[in-house]
Structure 1
Amino acid sequence: MKNSLLAVALSAVLSAAAGCATTPNPGNTAMAATAFGPVRVTEHRGNDDLLTAGLGLDGLRAMTAPAFADPESPTAAEVRRRAVWSNWRGIADLAPGGGYAELYGSVAPSPGREFQTLARLPGAKQPHRVLVQVPDNFDQQARCVVLAPASGSRGVLGAIAVAGPWALPRGCAIAYTDKGAGSDYYDLDAGLGVQLDGTIGGPDAALAFQPEPAPATGVAFKHAHSGDNPEAHWGEHVRQSAEFALKVLTEAFPDAAPYRFDNTRVIAVGISNGGGAVLQAAQSASVGDWLDAVVAAEPNVTVAGARPIYDYTTEAALLMPCALPALGIPAMPTADAQCAALATAGLIQGDTIGEQQQSAYQALRDNGWTDEALRAGSISVAFDLWRSVAVTYASAYGRFPAGAHPCGYSFSAVTKDGTPRPATATERAAWSSEAAGIPPGAGVGIVAPPIDPANPIAGLQCLRALWDGQGADADRVRQGISELQVAPPAAGLPVMVIHGLDDGLIPPAFTSAPYVAAARSAGADVHHWQVRNVQHFDAFLGVPVYAGVYLPLLPYVYEALDRTWAHLENGAPMPANAVIATTPRGAGKPLQAGHLAIPR
């Protein structure tokens, strides 16, 4: 990867333009007042393309990450390549027999340029990343931009497997955003954080995230500690990524300028938190002026009257480990003790372990959980993901700074027994490329308050009480959650919602189903695919026990994009609503098209 003289010159032009307030373009809704920082422009050709950083399918499948020549001080190119590798592997099932690049998807090289900067919403304390990929085959006549907010809390390339394989071969530019979360961790002890190019810098550098001073140690990260409650602004982050893309294209192709919302097709696509972000973008009252279509898969979205993610996550953290054996799923080592503690607290009933397990299971069922969601939810139990989400989101919703978590949790590099320790230079160097934006992972763990042997669930109860308890801290968290409700999309905007009916992390009963119902009641043009035998994590299908019973989600996302494009291009009808009856491939068998049963 290298910076050409053209790229440097273009960066200077864009940086100067970024310092000016945006003004309405003819035929456009006025853009938001946006502040973009300096723009970094890089070229990616030959053995370093846009889609796989030159790794190809074999390189993406490799079990070890692309190496850093100097583990403590990698180059920006090395950081990017590893970030591409980790983000692909965090989202897609790339295992042999899984069908990727054979039945669906593509890893064909896509040469081009990347433009990235830090953007800031009006009033925000922290910036967020936006990155635009412009392939060399960009179609200046049928100009299009695909908006791709990151899945989960991932970094700016967290949707590369979602948008890249579809958009780049078609000649569309892609605008990525980390939507206020991401992998820009900050070492509170060393005063070191992540720069725009992914390398580590000190407090005097232009860091992508630098928390406000606080009496804290360990590690801070943007999703938890920005003070901005980023989830409440996901739609604005998506809009800003679109604005940045138009700026980039206008300067990159001056002979075809200007690029505006009324002469450039804009499609937004996202999964998980990215799916929630594109649905937030769709609610804009003037969305028809800047956004042409939306494809949202397994979206973390909250509508009035539905359960927000913090509610069902803290419930699952408490009850699900105890409940799963009632479904025939082997108990985790601490499950019996958790059952006993729940019974002592009066949260479940029963004198025996079996009675307690059945009580916990019934409580979840009574609150809307399906058996399919509970079975797949066992994945989140195994990885301690419920607690991880609850700890991070409580901090974000309450806008608590580092070191001030209301339940006493913090984040740090840890020893094998969970004791906090200083982060190493090698760990810091890999944060930008390996962190998923929410610990544990990338050498950073959750540091819990001391466990009371008499009440081993006290920490989980504290997290739950921030939702259903009393006090100033709970009020702060609930206030943040109240800012998340999403309105129906603008009239006439084509919206495609896809959700696996076995999703155990973001169950459709709490998210996509109430969203679709509310949108249709408002007269919105929403189309809904509900897919059987699909859970939340395609990446886990590389594990044979999951591959035999679950199917990937991404084929349906790509198909929905194809059908949406045909609708916009040729007036073809949007896909009909469907509950898709799939067929699991079975243990040790390769995926075939018939297993997916995609409607035609």
Structure 2
Amino acid sequence: MKTLLTAAVLATVTAGCAGTAQMTNNMASQPPQITDHRGDDDLLTAGLGLKGLQSPVAPAFANPEQPTAVELRRRAIWANWRGIADLAPGGGYGERYGSTAAVAGREYSGVATLPGGVSSHRVVAQIPDGFDGNKRCLLVAPSSGSRGVYGAISVAGAWGLPKGCAVVYTDKGTGTDFVDVDTGEGTDLAGQRAIGHSRVFIPKVSAQKTPQAHEVAFKHAHSQVNPEADWGRHVVQAAQFGLDALSQAFPGNGQFNWDNTRVIAVGISNGGGAVLRAAEEQGAHFAAIVAGEPQIHVNGFGGKALYDYGLDAMTFMPCAQLALPDGALPEPPALAAAKPLMGLWCQRLKMAGRLDGADVPAMAKQAHEIMRASGWSDGALAAGYASTGFDLWRSVLVAYASAYAQAPVGAHPCGYRYQAESADKQARAATLAERAAWWSDSSGIPPGNAVSLKHDNPDIYAQLQCLTELRKDPVVAESIAATTASMPAHKDTPILILHGKDDGLVPIQYSSIPYVAMLREGGHNAVSFIAEDKAQHFDAFLGFPAYRQRWRPLLPELYRGLDRMWSHIAEGGPMP
């Protein structure tokens, strides 16, 4: 792999981190880092192929304390494929649908900063050697969840690169640029450990921070700019970055722009919400937008913000799930260990006056009625067992609370912190090997990868009460309001939305259904909406037999949707 890293690139990164300069999309004056990916280090799988991606063992680092840029990229691609797609043998990936074909080409990497210089995000454009100059197609793909910049590679790269399209990714201001507060060490553009202004992310540390806490900072929680409010703008800026990369890669083909290049925005989950928000931007002319299970918030039409339905789920879902029929809840996590804890949670809700049943079954029935009355289906409650069992709701709400409150490190409004811990749950310094792997291995929100979510009060209900009360804080309320979607800027932009009816993390009734209702009432008729039977949120969980028996993957439907959308915009076919 050949790397061309100029002083101008470092200036771009520094400006993006420090928040002192506006991003320019003129790549001639601020060129990105360019790397070649061929042979055993291709664009789509970093040379791993389907077999390597299916391996449960991560690609090794020759020196775990000093992995190379090539090793980090390969491991990040492995982790992001496995975090999104169902790659388990028998699931059909690479056989009945999807592609892991080796695709040779170049990557253009950089850090973009929105006008005003406050919200930075990683961008990576993948330009295949087999780019089809007749198609002139570019997919722009924001990461799902809070994943790093390769978080949508199995969504957009797997469809677009083998077809001769270029793909540009953005972490949309979240991602895995963790910073060890003890040492001030973060990550550089290649994902390697770095200090000073070569770091992609430089957090502000509160004077309230406890030195012995050994805290860890990450962009989604600690950027102090509520990145979710800018996700649509991040997508548009990433698309422009991709167009500029194409212009540089193929100077003989003329300037690539919105008018002569088909730009398709595609994403799932938070990435799906981000591409729908991108449609609001006046200067962007997307050929099409495809959103899977989008986390999107609209006012009215039954819409509800993530923070609000997340609070409901953290409160009542663990108890309500006990009222589902035997066999309804999938494993993992193990039911034998979880059910007693779920019963204790029912009793804690009764102590707090939230339930009044005579025994746990009666409390569970009451909690179930509350969840059903608010719109949750039994299928979504069953699929949501993963979020309950893995304590996902608390993890999500704590990170979003920090982002909405725009809190610096060490000053979470509800007293949480992120830190490395010893086996006896004591704070400790993160090791070199742990810090070296954060960028490649993390999903973007702890706990995980040797970073724990910590609170001094072990009473989870007391923690929940603080998160609930925080919703009334003016800064938090304003931040949540800033995530509200509005109508697309162009009424003729074709939009396809796919969502599983049993989604237990981003319920369809709070997100896609209200969004589509808003579009149709507003006169945007170029929209197709497909509510998928027997589909939930996490394709990657379908490798577990109990999940595969109940649900089918959404990703092949997304690929088919992209096929049909391409036929519509390029060949005059009908809307999907």
Assess if the C-alpha contact under 8 Å between 1:343 and 1:349 holds in 2: yes
From 346, 351, 354, the equivalent of 1:344 is: 351
Distance change in 2, residues 1:213/1:138 (3 Å): same
Assess if the C-alpha contact under 8 Å between 2:205 and 2:410 holds in 1: no
1-structure distance, mates of 2:23, 2:8? 21
Give the deviation of 1:483 after TM superposition.
Answer: 0.3
Residue in 1 aligned with 2:520? 520
| Partner-residue secondary structure (3-state), 1:296 | strand
Give the deviation of 1:569 after TM superposition.
Answer: 0.9
Query: After superposition, where does 1:139-178 map in structure 2 within 5 Å?
Result: 139-178=132-171
2-structure distance, mates of 1:564, 1:142? 14
Assess if the C-alpha contact under 8 Å between 1:126 and 1:209 holds in 2: no
Give the deviation of 1:285 after TM superposition.
Answer: 3.8
Distance change in 2, residues 1:341/1:294 (3 Å): same
1:457 aligns with 2:461: yes
1:293 aligns with 2:297: no
2-structure distance, mates of 1:529, 1:477? 33
Query: After superposition, where does 1:190-339 map in structure 2 within 5 Å?
Result: 190-202=183-195, 204-215=196-207, 216=209, 217-287=214-284, 290-305=285-300, 306-328=303-325, 329=329, 330=335, 331-339=338-346
* AA of the residue aligned to 2:132: D
Residue in 1 aligned with 2:90? 97
Further displaced range: 313-322 or 89-98: 313-322
1:531 aligns with 2:532: yes
2-structure distance, mates of 1:465, 1:395? 14
2-structure distance, mates of 1:135, 1:143? 12
Report how many aligned residue pairs link the two structures. 549
C-alpha RMSD over aligned residues? 2.0
Give the deviation of 1:78 after TM superposition.
Answer: 0.4
* AA of the residue aligned to 1:325: L
* AA of the residue aligned to 2:384: G
2-structure distance, mates of 1:312, 1:205? 39
Give the deviation of 1:333 after TM superposition.
Answer: 3.6
1:59 aligns with 2:52: yes
Query: After superposition, where does 1:307-456 map in structure 2 within 5 Å?
Result: 307-328=304-325, 329=329, 330=335, 331-452=338-459, 456=460
Q: Which runs of 4+ in 1 moved over 3 A?
A: 11-20, 31-38, 328-333
Assess if the C-alpha contact under 8 Å between 2:384 and 2:505 holds in 1: yes
1-structure distance, mates of 2:505, 2:182? 33
2-structure distance, mates of 1:51, 1:409? 38
* AA of the residue aligned to 1:508: I
1-structure distance, mates of 2:13, 2:310? 40
* TM-score computed with the length of structure 2 as normaliser: 0.92
1-structure distance, mates of 2:428, 2:396? 22
Assess if the C-alpha contact under 8 Å between 2:292 and 2:499 holds in 1: yes
Query: After superposition, where does 1:449-598 map in structure 2 within 5 Å?
Result: 449-452=456-459, 456-467=460-471, 470=472, 474-489=473-488, 490-524=490-524, 525-575=526-576
2-structure distance, mates of 1:198, 1:18? 13
Give the deviation of 1:38 after TM superposition.
Answer: 5.7
Give the deviation of 1:541 after TM superposition.
Answer: 0.7
1-structure distance, mates of 2:98, 2:528? 22
| Partner-residue secondary structure (3-state), 1:337 | helix
Distance change in 2, residues 1:14/1:253 (3 Å): farther
* AA of the residue aligned to 2:353: G
Assess if the C-alpha contact under 8 Å between 1:38 and 1:118 holds in 2: no
Assess if the C-alpha contact under 8 Å between 2:457 and 2:463 holds in 1: no
Percent identity reads 50
Assess if the C-alpha contact under 8 Å between 2:500 and 2:535 holds in 1: yes
* AA of the residue aligned to 1:545: A
Distance change in 2, residues 1:73/1:16 (3 Å): closer
2-structure distance, mates of 1:19, 1:342? 49
* TM-score computed with the length of structure 1 as normaliser: 0.88
2-structure distance, mates of 1:19, 1:440? 28
1-structure distance, mates of 2:74, 2:511? 34
Distance change in 2, residues 1:185/1:13 (3 Å): closer
1-structure distance, mates of 2:12, 2:198? 19
1:111 aligns with 2:104: yes
* AA of the residue aligned to 1:486: A
Further displaced range: 210-219 or 427-436: 210-219
* AA of the residue aligned to 1:232: A
* AA of the residue aligned to 2:437: A
Give the deviation of 1:465 after TM superposition.
Answer: 2.1
| Partner-residue secondary structure (3-state), 1:317 | helix
Give the deviation of 1:53 after TM superposition.
Answer: 0.3
Deviations 1:168-193 (A, max 9, x none): 01111101000000000000011100
2-structure distance, mates of 1:309, 1:13? 39
Distance change in 2, residues 1:367/1:405 (3 Å): same
* AA of the residue aligned to 1:478: A
Give the deviation of 1:2 after TM superposition.
Answer: 2.6
2-structure distance, mates of 1:378, 1:124? 41
* AA of the residue aligned to 1:556: E
Deviations 1:222-255 (A, max 9, x none): 0000011011000000011011112111111111
Give the deviation of 1:14 after TM superposition.
Answer: 7.8
2-structure distance, mates of 1:285, 1:191? 39
Distance change in 2, residues 1:316/1:124 (3 Å): farther
2-structure distance, mates of 1:136, 1:440? 39
| Partner-residue secondary structure (3-state), 2:162 | coil
2-structure distance, mates of 1:372, 1:488? 30
1-structure distance, mates of 2:482, 2:197? 33
From 130, 133, 136, the equivalent of 2:129 is: 136
Give the deviation of 1:416 after TM superposition.
Answer: 3.2
1-structure distance, mates of 2:38, 2:25? 31
Give the deviation of 1:340 after TM superposition.
Answer: 1.4
Assess if the C-alpha contact under 8 Å between 1:76 and 1:199 holds in 2: yes
Q: Unmatched 5+ residue regions in structure 1?
A: 21-30, 576-600
1-structure distance, mates of 2:272, 2:26? 25
2-structure distance, mates of 1:209, 1:370? 40
2-structure distance, mates of 1:102, 1:130? 30
* AA of the residue aligned to 2:505: L
Give the deviation of 1:415 after TM superposition.
Answer: 2.5
Query: After superposition, where does 1:66-81 map in structure 2 within 5 Å?
Result: 66-81=59-74
Distance change in 2, residues 1:185/1:421 (3 Å): same
| Partner-residue secondary structure (3-state), 2:372 | helix
Distance change in 2, residues 1:13/1:395 (3 Å): closer
Q: Unmatched 5+ residue regions in structure 2?
A: 16-21, 330-334
Distance change in 2, residues 1:401/1:333 (3 Å): farther
